[in-house]
Structure formats: C-alpha cells, structure tokens
Amino acid sequence: MGSGIAETVIESGFQATLLSRTSETAHAMGEAIKSSFERKTAKERKTVIRAEEELSRLNVTNQITDLADCDLVIETVVEDLEVKLRVIKNLDAVCKADAIIATNTSTFPIIDLAMATQRPDKVCGIHFFNPAQVMKLIEIVKTLVVSEETIQTATSFALSCNKEPVIVKDQAGFIVNALLFPYLNNAVKLLEQGVAAKEDIDTAMKGGCGFPMGPFALLDLVGLDTALSILNSLYDEFKDPNFAPAMLLKRMVTAGMLGRKNGFGFYSY
C-alpha cells in the first residue's frame, strides 16, 4: 500500500518521502515504483522523461526525521493497533506542528490514534483501496475532534491525486469494509461448508454480479492477515456474529498463508 500511495502522490505532482523500517525495505519499495514506471513507459502510458521527472520527486528513506518538513504524512503500517500507536506517537514527535497526520487504517478507530498525539484536530483517516495506484476511491474519515480545515485539506489532496473522496464518520469498517468484509467472510464460510469449489465461487461472483474479481482472488490481493484483522475489528466494534471471522481464514493466517504478498493464499502465486 505504501509504495502504491507514494506512486500515486508523485504522479500527481507532489514531492514524496517514503519511509520504511530498514534501508533494504525502503530500497525495495523504491524499486517497486521504478518497475511500475518501466511497465507504464513500455505500454506508452508515460514518457521516459516524465517517469524520470516524477521519480526525481521521490525520496526513499529509513530515517523518520526525514519527515520533519512534510505537510501531510500518511501512515500505512501493519493493521496492529499497538504498532500503529507507536508509529503515530513517533510521527507526532518528529513532524512539524502544523502537519496533518493521516492514517490509512482499514478499521481501527481514528480517535484512538488521534488522542495519542498532541494534535488530535490534525489527525484523520485517508483510506486508500488496493491496488492504491488504480482504485479511485478514498475514504476521508472524520473524528469527533478533527478540524474542518484538516478534512478540507485531506479532501483537496485526494482530488489532486485524481481520486474520488467520500467523507465518512469514524466507525469500524467505514463504508466499504463494513459492506465488503461480511461478503468475503461468508464466501469463506461457503467454501468451508463445501457448497462449491473456490474457483467456482470466484467465477460465480464475477459472472453473476459483474465483480472484477471473485472473493478468494480479492482476499489474496488484500492479504489474509489484513482481512482477519479487519473482521476482528468489525466484530469488536459491533459484536455482530456475521463479522466473526471464518475458522478457515483464521487457520490459514496461523499457517502463514497470507495471499499474494507471500505467494500462498487461496491460490498460489
């Protein structure tokens, strides 16, 4: 997600600093963007000169202090509240006082993250969708304490990235995941019940509903660990049994089957 967002940001004319944990992972994320640009130039979607100009506005780093002068910071770390809180507090300490700190969390209450900073009025959700370079939607998530100015800036940013922003209140799952994840979870339950093969369930939802991907291909794209974390957060918030993660999903995550990101999920890559 992080490199997909950075790619979108530099393509939209902004300067971007991409922070990763180590110099190796930072380098790998920069390389992923370069490869994507090479594919786009090969397909004549952009010129080599334009790709070089856009890449010149990207700085990849593993030093959090390199974010000190940024106007807007978007965290996209793993869906683990403790990790997110730690990262947000570190960002709050390093970033300039008037910077907006946004989170790309899929489900955690934004207010929990906002109140961990000294600037809760400048913290909001800016939620991209996978793959971030392609999907048009951005959910802008509004807490009880965020300022209108922060929401306006986040919305203008989304529009400048040629995305379609929607404003949503700070409730687990926001709009898309609150509707999408019960569907994905129920697909896993159908598979567990032996109703049909995964390939046939995917074929059915593409052919029968016009979805671009079936539920298992989509779960692999999102990441099974991320999907499990989203369902757990939805279940924690609403205590609705429909959000309780399917047993098979839990077992696959425990078995290290995470989807496309490590090559093994419902399908092999």
CB of 135 to ligand CAA, least distance (A): 5
SS3 (DSSP) at 61: strand
Q: Positive or negative, the Cα torsion across 133, 134, 136, 140?
A: negative
Nearer to ligand CAA, 95 or 227 (CB): 227
Which residues ranging from 206 to 265 are in contact with ligand CAA (CB under 6 A)?
212-213, 218, 222, 226
Two tokens, residue 176: 């898309």
10 touching ligand CAA, by CB under 6 A = no
139 among known catalytic residues: yes
Active-site choice (11, 20, 75, 127) = 127
DSSP state string for 144-213? SS--HHHHHHHHHHHHHTT-EEEEEES-TTTTHHHHHHHHHHHHHHHHHTTSS-HHHHHHHHHHHH--SS
Residue from the set 94, 135, 175, 190 that interacts with ligand CAA by CB under 6 A: 135
Residue from the set 13, 131, 207, 256 that interacts with ligand CAA by CB under 6 A: 131
Q: Which of 191, 195, 181 is nearest to 248 (CA)?
A: 191
Residue from the set 98, 134, 148, 208 that interacts with ligand CAA by CB under 6 A: 134
177 among known catalytic residues: yes
Active-site choice (54, 139, 185, 229) = 139
51 touching ligand CAA, by CB under 6 A = no
The footprint of ligand CAA (CB under 6 A) covers: 40, 43, 45, 106, 129-131, 133-135, 176-177, 180, 212-213, 218, 222, 226
